Chain A
Amino acid sequence: MKVIRLILLGCGLLLIWQLVVFVTGAPHYILPGPVPVFHAIVNHSSTLLGHLQTTLTEILLGILLGSFLGVTTALIMTLSPLLKRWMLPVLVISQAIPVFALAPVLVLWFGYGMASKVAMAVLIIYFPVTSSFYYGMRRTEPQLLELAHIMDGRPMSIMRYIIIPSALPAFASGLRVATAVAPIGAVVGEWVGSSAGLGFYMLHANARMQIDVMFAALTVLSAVSLLLYFFIDFVLGKLIFWENTQGITR
């Protein structure tokens, strides 16, 4: 049912796209229709695939590294109230600074290669992952903590059996947001300075007035981001199976 809905939705969007082209009569170098873009995808498939590989690697590394840093930060903040007081402002600052404004600096520091793009993605997803996991742990059902207290539970075991599993559904929401925004970080990084990746290829095509190729790169990027999101969503749903069960206290 979900798959059918997605296919219908995709077809609907393509139809609207074609309709806009038809109604506005926009020339193909401003807004190419779905058919020319599809041709461009087929004709440039090997080039697109190569650039996609770069961008996808950046996105995945960004998600992996950003999640690791976020989880670590959240755990430290939960375990140590002292460190929490110092890390909370850092966390907020990481969100308050416009990350896009940092992109040139990151390219300057980490070079034209993959590292600066991964760093961008990490910066973008660090906040949603950290804050969702941290607040998830803080919102552990008080009655469970009381029960653990009466059972004379060890602090680390209470973390392992109660606090962390309680927070995993919230963490999963954070990771979903991260998966959705990580491609933005990677592509913006590529725009600022790079020699590979879909973002680079879009600028490259734009400069040559190959608007259909630019749209082809954009379409591939969107499709892959969507697929990645659904994949992560599916895996999280399987692993954190208690996510959608009713609360502990009914």
Chain B
Amino acid sequence: MRENRLARHAESGEAPSINFNNVSLSLGDKPLFDSLSMTIDGGRCTCILGPSGCGKSTLLRMISHTTTLVYQGTIRIESQTAGDGKIAWMSQNDLLLPWLSLLDNVLLGVKLRNAESSSHRAKARALLKEAGLAEYEDALPATLSGGMRQRGALLRTLMEERPVLLMDEPFSALDALARMKLQNLSARLTRKSTVLLVTHDPMEALRMGHKVLVLSNRPTQVKSIVSLAGTPPRNVDDPEIQAYFSVLLGQLMDESPV
């Protein structure tokens, strides 16, 4: 089973949970987070929904240490294996390098770590095949469609074999059909990893997540938690989605300023 092989890291080590403990952060004189505490389950997909400006992306940046903002409290990745390299990142921009072929873009992480080997190349090719991009491995990003590029970005993220995947609105730049396909692929290939997916789309959150956290306006708190049964990706006509969609939409409307 290829899926099992791809999710090897999740089997050898357990996918860690992420703990926010009394995290406070102020932008200017206005608090963005005031003693925010929450736990992101290990090995599951947690979707974060919230009004714009509530700091969804900032949360991801705080986990990945890619922000210079200083916060109080602790954010811990509860992993039993020590060291860095637990996180992989995927954003709304595919960030494919226009001077590298699709295959080389998927291999970017190992290239940057000077660790490229033939087994890496074989794995990247297997991933490309899995994503239906086998014949495009030599193509330059500029010649690919937005959906294909974002698929490439997903593969680059998976290639990292990191136990924690942070995804910042990874599908929002795509048209509806491409988005649906990529959501399916992503859900299938990221099973057993700890996935934290920020989105503004309740439908996406309900299709992709084991759990959906709805955040409130500033100072941001967890307003509600929806736990879903079954395995993502859920079909659009899944009864759970039907049941929760309007609830989530209503909660987001309440938090929206206008």
Q: Say yes or no: B113 contacts A152, CB within 8 Å.
A: yes
A242 to B111, CA, bound (A): 20
Q: Say yes or no: B95 contacts A147, CB within 8 Å.
A: yes
Q: Say yes or no: B113 contacts A144, CB within 8 Å.
A: no
Q: Say yes or no: A146 contacts B66, CB within 8 Å.
A: yes
Contact with A along B94-132 (1 / 0, CB 8 A): 011111100000001101111000000000000000000
Q: Say yes or no: B111 contacts A161, CB within 8 Å.
A: yes
Contact with A along B1-43 (1 / 0, CB 8 A): 0000000000000000000000000000000000000000000
Q: Say yes or no: B93 contacts A143, CB within 8 Å.
A: yes
B99 cross-chain contacts in A, Cβ below 8 A:
165, 168, 241-242
Q: Is B201 close to A, CB under 8 A?
A: no
* In the complex, residue of chain B having the shortest beta-carbon distance to the beta carbon of A141: B95
Q: Is B91 close to A, CB under 8 A?
A: yes
The smallest beta-carbon distance between A173 and chain B, in angstroms, is 17
A153 to B142, CA, bound (A): 24
The stretch of B82-90, B206-214, B239-247 in contact with A is B82-90
The smallest beta-carbon distance between A65 and chain B, in angstroms, is 27
Q: Is B173 close to A, CB under 8 A?
A: yes
A245 cross-chain contacts in B, Cβ below 8 A:
98, 142
Please report which residues of chain A, range 161-197, place their CB below 8 angstroms from some CB of chain B when the two chains form the complex.
Answer: 161-162, 165, 168
Q: Is B58 close to A, CB under 8 A?
A: no
Q: Given A150-B87, A154-B113, A249-B93, does the pair A161, B108 have CB atoms closer than 8 Å?
A: yes
A115 cross-chain contacts in B, Cβ below 8 A:
none
A144 to B66, CA, bound (A): 11
Q: Say yes or no: B88 contacts A150, CB within 8 Å.
A: yes
Q: Say yes or no: A242 contacts B98, CB within 8 Å.
A: yes
Q: Say yes or no: A248 contacts B66, CB within 8 Å.
A: no
* In the complex, residue of chain A having the shortest beta-carbon distance to the beta carbon of B96: A248
A248 to B140, CA, bound (A): 13
A1 to B205, CA, bound (A): 52
Q: Say yes or no: B95 contacts A144, CB within 8 Å.
A: yes
Q: Is B186 close to A, CB under 8 A?
A: no
* In the complex, residue of chain B having the shortest beta-carbon distance to the beta carbon of A155: B112
A186 to B183, CA, bound (A): 61
B137 cross-chain contacts in A, Cβ below 8 A:
none
Could you say which interface size class chain B belongs to?
Answer: 20 to 34
* In the complex, residue of chain A having the shortest beta-carbon distance to the beta carbon of B143: A245
| CB contact between A249 and one of B89, B95, B97, B112 (< 8 Å): that residue | B95
Q: Given A242-B98, A242-B99, does the pair A143, B91 have CB atoms closer than 8 Å?
A: yes
Q: Say yes or no: B112 contacts A158, CB within 8 Å.
A: yes
The smallest beta-carbon distance between A67 and chain B, in angstroms, is 20
Q: Is A236 close to B, CB under 8 A?
A: no
The smallest beta-carbon distance between B105 and chain A, in angstroms, is 10
Q: Say yes or no: B108 contacts A151, CB within 8 Å.
A: yes
* In the complex, residue of chain B having the shortest beta-carbon distance to the beta carbon of A248: B95
B255 cross-chain contacts in A, Cβ below 8 A:
none
The smallest beta-carbon distance between B63 and chain A, in angstroms, is 10
The smallest beta-carbon distance between B152 and chain A, in angstroms, is 13
A154 cross-chain contacts in B, Cβ below 8 A:
112-114
| CB contact between A162 and one of B66, B84, B91, B97 (< 8 Å): that residue | B97
Please report which residues of chain A, range 229-250, place their CB below 8 angstroms from some CB of chain B when the two chains form the complex.
Answer: 241-242, 245-246, 248-250
Q: Say yes or no: A242 contacts B142, CB within 8 Å.
A: yes
Q: Is B251 close to A, CB under 8 A?
A: no
Q: Is B64 close to A, CB under 8 A?
A: yes
The smallest beta-carbon distance between B112 and chain A, in angstroms, is 3
A241 to B108, CA, bound (A): 19
Q: Say yes or no: B85 contacts A152, CB within 8 Å.
A: yes
A248 cross-chain contacts in B, Cβ below 8 A:
93, 95-98
Q: Say yes or no: B93 contacts A150, CB within 8 Å.
A: no
A157 cross-chain contacts in B, Cβ below 8 A:
111-114
Q: Say yes or no: B100 contacts A143, CB within 8 Å.
A: no
Please report which residues of chain A, range 197-244, place their CB below 8 angstroms from some CB of chain B when the two chains form the complex.
Answer: 241-242
A141 to B93, CA, bound (A): 12
Q: Is A149 close to B, CB under 8 A?
A: yes
Please give 4 more A-B residue pairs, beta carbons under 8 A apart, in addition to A146-B66, A152-B85, A165-B97: A157-B114, A158-B112, A162-B112, A249-B93
By a beta-carbon cutoff of 8 Å, the part of chain A in contact with chain B is 141, 143-144, 146-154, 157-158, 161-162, 165, 168, 241-242, 245-246, 248-250
- Offer 20 A-B interface pairs, CB within 8 angstroms, sorted by A: A144-B95, A147-B89, A150-B66, A151-B108, A153-B113, A157-B112, A157-B114, A158-B112, A161-B100, A161-B112, A162-B112, A165-B99, A241-B140, A242-B98, A242-B140, A242-B142, A246-B142, A248-B95, A248-B96, A249-B93
